[in-house]
Structure 1
Amino acid sequence: MPGIVGIISSNVDNELLEQMISSLRHEKWYKVDKYLDSFFGIARVHLGIFNPEPQPIFNEDKSLCIFMDGKIYGYDDEMNELKSEGYKFSVGNDPEFCLHIYEYYGIDFVKKINGDFVIAICDLKEEKLLLANDRYGLRPHYYAINNGKLLFTPEVKAILLDKNFKKELNDETVADFFAFGEILGNKTFLKGIEVLPPASILTYDRGIISIKQYWDFNYEPDYSKTEDEFVDELVETFKKAVAIRMKDNYRYGVALSGGLDSRSVVAAIEKDKRKDVFAFTFGPLDCNEVKIAKNVADIAGMKHKIIEITPELIIDNAENEILYSDGMDYIGVSFIPPVCRVVKDNNNIDVVFDGFAFDLTLGGSYLTDEIVNTKNKDELLKILYAKQRFFSEIELNKLFIVDYYNKIRHYPLNSFEKEFKVVKETHPGNCCDYLFLQNHVRRWTIGGQILERFCIEDSVPTYDNNLIDVILKIPPELRLNHCIYRKFLKKLSPELASFIYDKNMIRADAPLILWKAGAIYQRIGNKLKRQIWKLSKGKIFIPGKRTYVEFNDWLRTNENWKIFFKDLLLDKNAMSKTYFNQDYIKTLIREHEKGKKNNAQKILYLASFELFLRLFMNKDF
């Protein structure tokens, strides 16, 4: 992912910095801004879309300079205030504003800016560095301290270029990856490298590093407000969030699915501007998601393109996905970079809107009646731990060889308990959402944004600061079952709310009882398809058509997939043999092919780890 890469040290290695920059240039057309000083070497690798002007930008007396990746919004009043205080703006862009507001407010400046960003400010006189990110960590950057020097980068692999860095697999991360299907906390697959936590201000002062958290998700439910009052406030705030993100002269697109999050973004765009926004949807041409999205685009009056996803697109781009994500995502999303290239090249989109995590923040997608009504935290911990498991404990015992399983068997629970203890909320519903926002969304859902940014920029109005501040006041009982979400969408756009939702194939504005009935019907249908395949011994196949990827179907019927995964995982020289029991992998494949279980997702994760080992642990970058 493009971003800011740097070395902070008393003796900056320019050759290493150049190698790190080169490792981030996945496209020849990427742009690079670089600056060297006595105590730092920093570069910005970027797409030339947001803030294309050269960096760093200096203040008037050249005592400070700034590098910035990302975009901030809605600061006209603050800029005018700074001008009235005598600050000069020679460029007038986001980083220059951030530099001057830092001069005026000090490190509290980050509390006053709204957007997604990573900022590096260097004090050239005092030889200090400040590295700050947005509230939510929407542009992940990683850091390591090695032999007294600080290295930071948007991709882990760049740090591995330091020949003095000891490359060692983090077993706790391996345990997370398979126990939960994602990584918890700030870990990476490499010991000594962590992701910068959200809402962080990292300072480096003569070899001493400190990290301060300046914001957190603090739920303060306001039970004095009516549901209608919340709906009105949500609609007004969300429309403003979308509007301020459309003020600049970019070519906009929206990744439109069959769900409600991207539909909400479309609904919030002013009707006379929708014709200038290009909607695109990816998936098999006959899947429900594509059909729903096309109808939504037609109702909204937007241009729309369908980009087909095939099984081969996934496996052909599998290695690149592992390289781009540093192995922290799985190859099931490897279609995103090629899809975004098509969008960029054929439709001239600069910035794509996304309904990022709206189903969780507003829709309570992880909440259940059981969770909301849990009486104590110990019981809640058990419920959430069970809900989050991917491979069960019994399955992990079968998957890993004996010695390795005994080594890591306690790591998943320890890791989960550690993240659970961070949660300060009292209401179980708010505890649940906090935990999953800071882990599932920040470390897994964000993977789609990371992969998009390899060729286009993205904008997430669903994570607008003012909108999140409103959501944090909504009682969890109203977020449960998309209760307030459905009313919000209906108020925002009655015509778009009247169309079906891909998860249950029921109108978005339908009563909850119909939503639940639709979801049950979909589950029964999926189970019945698998049973027919099983009982007919593979002779009768009813393809799934609900979503944009059908991994379970593809791994049963697509010969290229069967060959790819068997060759990768059952190879006698597979690096994962050090960790995995290949006989159990054969069992997973056999169970899946016969229709006894749907194991495709797990097999994709196993393949992802094998590729990570080959690409990261068996070679130098």
Structure 2
Amino acid sequence: MCGVAGMVSTASPDPAAVRTMCDVLAHRGPDGEGFHTDDHVALGMRRLAVIDVSGGDQPVFNEDRSVIAVFNGEIYNFPELRRDLLSRGHRFRTNGDSECLVHLYEEHGEDLVHHLRGMFAFAVWDAGKGRLLLARDRVGKKPLYYRDAGGSLAFASELKALSAIAPGRGEVDPVALHHYLTYQYVPAPWSILRDVRKLPPGCLLNWQGGRVQVRRYWELDFTPGAVTSEQEAAERARELLLEATAIRMLSERPLGAFLSGGIDSSAVVAAMARLSPKPVKTFSIGFEDAQFDERAHARAVARQYGTDHHEFVVDASALEILPTLAWYFDEPFADSSAIPSFYVAQLSRRHVTVALNGDGGDESFGGYARYAQMARMEKFRVHTSLRPAVKHMGRSLLAVAPACSKRRRAGRALTALSETPQRRYARLMSYFMPEQKQDLYAEQLLEETAGIDSYELLDQAFRGSRAVSRMNQLMDVDVNSYLPGDLLVKVDISTMANSLEARSPFLDHRLMEWAAGLPAELKVRGGTTKYLLKKALRDWLPHEVLYRPKQGFGVPMGHWLRTDLKDVAWDVLTDRTAVERGLFRPEAVRTLLKEHQAGEDHARRIWALMQFELWHRRFVDQPLPGSPTVDGQPLRRTG
């Protein structure tokens, strides 16, 4: 697990700039660094040593050093790949996974990605062809940003690394901001800065002679597969989860698991316990507010499997880490569960270097309550000719109904029913609805985003889905939007900020591809989500863990914004610094704050505005200096 950075140019790259970028990425790789420079490329990396600790340094080279690679992630099938490559005459100098890349490239070119099973973001330089290949794993566990400047291209694992070599260039992309306020994250290929882009998940970037081409190499296929019986499918689900977990337990450093008390993380712990000869180390985060506290369920699983269990309670004082989060997250990021994610990673790192988690179970097996909600709403079809009238009724109610009233809920329901199923789902996933953004934006931002429809991103995902059923379509859309844009960013940043490697058995692409072919009725049946997975885990997990309502990994943000965070929110969003940006109408922001105090739930919207403002103050108002710092402390290279 590492941070990677580099520059390629038709002229000469700047090795010092690559070293600066790697300094910024030191938290991703505290165990060492490595660099390579030639006439047209400079590559660098920071290493968190997990496999081949003593000998797995990077960059890695082929036999004649004409192919060079830097790599972030883990290739779980590297033992098989290594045996095959050795049989083909390739020679290795290390015992790790990263060296497989250069030899696979020699054998397969850019098709090497189809042979990899794992999480990765890597760069391969082919000196003979003057070609740079960048790649990101199938679902987007590991990030990669790049800046294309015509004759040169710079890339890095984090946005702030690119900002460090171009201080003062950070200009907010209004379209990215527009999308962020809808989804709580900046979706790929945008970044929050105009001149930087993200390589999307499952994509390759080719640079040669100053020209850049990006293409997608993988997408989940929801073509229905054959299912003989529910029992057989349940057995296969257990087999695939055990195998995906087993290959993720290979580590030369201490290993444990996040245990939230939900089905997915509990299933991973159960699988680990079956595979481990000693107690699994488990880590949970809780809250004083019982509505958000899942520790009792996590303890039930920990007791059943005799784990070495550790807990931490998060309260409002934990919000002291907000400036730290603003630094590490690079871009505005409004999923407030980043707070407990950061703390559980911090807790885990005191004991282990690698932690497995349950990410991906919801998207593969139908775990979100909104899937069942969409199924219910499908029963209430509104004829196309009536939709404008129903929408008008809904918006009229919303305009006059008191906060938290039945009329207001009715207004929201009517507005949702007036939409197509695709747009209905987009509204479910929204922080700010389109009409709310129109009320919020000042004149200039209105002009810059005129005609830009954030919901079109989900429309494209729906159109591109090969799923037959609506339910599988929803999961496909989430795999291409919410999963890589929100969940995987949250886990990657919060763990790497603490120099911790996170691994996700449910995101094994073979397990995902099998689950995608399951009939939708095995995922969501009536009001039961994760129908098949729950059946598969009956002998593994306590009944109260399997069949309790889903809580999610949330925080009591609504309460905090009315109490401990009330003054902070007002100060951050209404002071002179925020107002003079001219992006949002001050009276609209104050209305949100006042209505929230009066009982209307604007917590997600207020938090999104706060995270943007905190990010802007850290990265735009105070551009990164030439010598990067974290929380005011200078970074130091090792090695």
- Does TM, normalized by the shorter one, top 0.5? yes
Structure 1 residues 501-520: aligned runs within 5 Å: 508-509=546-547
Q: Which stretch shows the higher mean deviation, 481-490 or 16-25?
A: 481-490
- TM-score, normalised with respect to structure 2: 0.84
Distance 1:108 1:276 in 2: 40
1:602–1:66 distance in 2 versus 1, CA, 3 Å? same
Structure 2 SS opposite 1:95: coil
Which residues in structure 2 correspond to 1:86-105 (within 5 Å)? 86-105=89-108
Alpha carbons 1:184, 1:416 under 8 Å: kept: no
Determine the C-alpha separation between the residues in 2 that align with 1:607 and 1:492.
40
1:324 maps to 328
Please point out which of 73, 77, 99 is paired with 2:76: 73
Query: Is residue 423 of structure 1 aligned with residue 465 of structure 2?
Result: yes
Q: 2:164 aligns with which of 140, 161, 164?
A: 161
In structure 2, the partner of 1:552 is 558
Aligned mate of 1:584, from 568, 582, 588? 588
Instruction: Look up the match of 1:444.
Output: 486
| 2:528 is the counterpart of 1:473 | no
Counterpart of 1:25, as a letter, is A
Moved more, 75-84 or 317-326: 75-84
Which residue in the other structure is 2:396 paired with?
A: none
After superposing the two structures, state which structure 1 stretch, 56-65 or 572-581, moved more.
572-581
| CA–CA distance in structure 2, aligned partners of residues 178 and 419 of structure 1 | 19
CA distance in 1: counterparts of 2:204 and 2:434, whole angstroms: 38
Task: Evaluate the alpha carbon distance shift between residue 372 and residue 265 of structure 1 in structure 2; reply closer, same or farther with a 3 A threshold.
Answer: farther
Distance 2:446 2:438 in 1: 6
Aligned match of 1:528: none
The residue correspondences of 1:92-491 to structure 2 (distance < 5 A) are: 92-163=95-166, 166-222=169-225, 224-271=227-274, 273=276, 275-284=278-287, 287=290, 288-314=293-319, 316-330=320-334, 332=336, 333-345=338-350, 347=351, 349-365=352-368, 366-367=370-371, 368-370=374-376, 379-408=420-449, 410-411=451-452, 412-450=454-492, 451-454=494-497, 455-481=499-525, 485-491=530-536
Q: Percent identity?
A: 24
Contact 1:309 1:548 in 2 (8 A): no
What residue identity is the alignment partner of 2:621?
N
Instruction: Report the TM-score when normalising by structure 1.
Output: 0.86
Distance 1:172 1:310, change over 3 A: same
| Secondary structure of 1:190 counterpart | coil
Query: Cα gap change, 1:76/1:493 in structure 2, threshold over 3 Å: closer, same or farther?
Result: farther
1:64 aligns with 2:106: no
SS at match of 2:172: coil
The superposition leaves residues 514-565 of structure 1 with CA deviations (integer Å, 9 ceiling, x where unpaired) of x6xx68xx9xxxxxxxxxxxxxxxxxxxxxxx9662111222232xx22222
Distance 1:469 1:571, change over 3 A: same
Report the Cα distance in structure 1 between the residues aligned to 2:158 and 2:31, rounded to whole angstroms: 15
Instruction: Give the direction of change, closer, same or farther, for the CA distance of 1:597–1:88 in structure 2 (3 Å limit).
Output: same
SS in 2 for 1:261: helix
Name the residue aligned to 1:24: 25
Name the structure 1 match of 2:408.
Answer: none
Secondary structure of the 1:93 match is coil
Residues 28-74 of structure 1 deviation map (CA, whole Å, 9 limit, x = unaligned): 94522111111111111232334542111211222212211110113
Distance 1:343 1:425, change over 3 A: closer
In structure 2, the residue matched to 1:512 is none
RMSD: 2.8
- Structure 1 residue 331, shift from structure 2 partner: 7.0
* Cα distance change of structure 1 residues 336 and 364 upon mapping to structure 2, 3 Å threshold: closer
Cα distance change of structure 1 residues 485 and 75 upon mapping to structure 2, 3 Å threshold = farther
- Kindly state the Cα deviation for residue 305 of structure 1 after the two structures are TM-superposed: 0.8
CA displacement at 1:466 relative to structure 2: 1.6
Which one-letter code corresponds to 1:498 in the other structure? H
Deviation of the 1:338 alpha carbon? 4.5
Instruction: Give the direction of change, closer, same or farther, for the CA distance of 1:163–1:474 in structure 2 (3 Å limit).
Output: same
Q: Contact 1:282–1:548 (CA<8 Å) still a contact in 2? A: no
Contact 1:275 1:303 in 2 (8 A): no
Q: Does the 8 Å CA contact 1:133/1:201 hold for their aligned counterparts?
A: yes
Distance 1:229 1:445, change over 3 A: same
2:407 corresponds to which residue? Answer: none
Q: Deviation digits for residues 389-416 of structure 1, max 9, x if unmatched? A: 2222332233222442354254224444
CA distance in 2 between partners of 1:484 and 1:310 (Å): 30
Between the aligned partners of 1:131 and 1:275, the Cα distance in structure 2 is 39
Deviates more, 1:15-24 or 1:233-242: 15-24
- Name the aligned partner's letter for residue 396 of structure 1: K
Quick one: distance in 2 between partners of 1:142 and 1:572? 32
Partner SS, residue 587 of structure 1: helix
Q: Where does structure 2 lack aligned partners over 5 or more consecutive residues?
A: 385-418, 625-639
Q: What is the DSSP-based 3-state SS (H/G/I as helix, E as strand, rest coil) of the residue aligned with 2:257? A: strand
Alpha-carbon distance, 1:576 to partner = 6.6
3-state secondary structure, aligned to 1:611: helix
Distance 2:4 2:284 in 1: 30
What letter matches 2:7 in structure 1? I
* CA distance in structure 2 between the aligned counterparts of 1:495 and 1:617, rounded to whole angstroms: 50
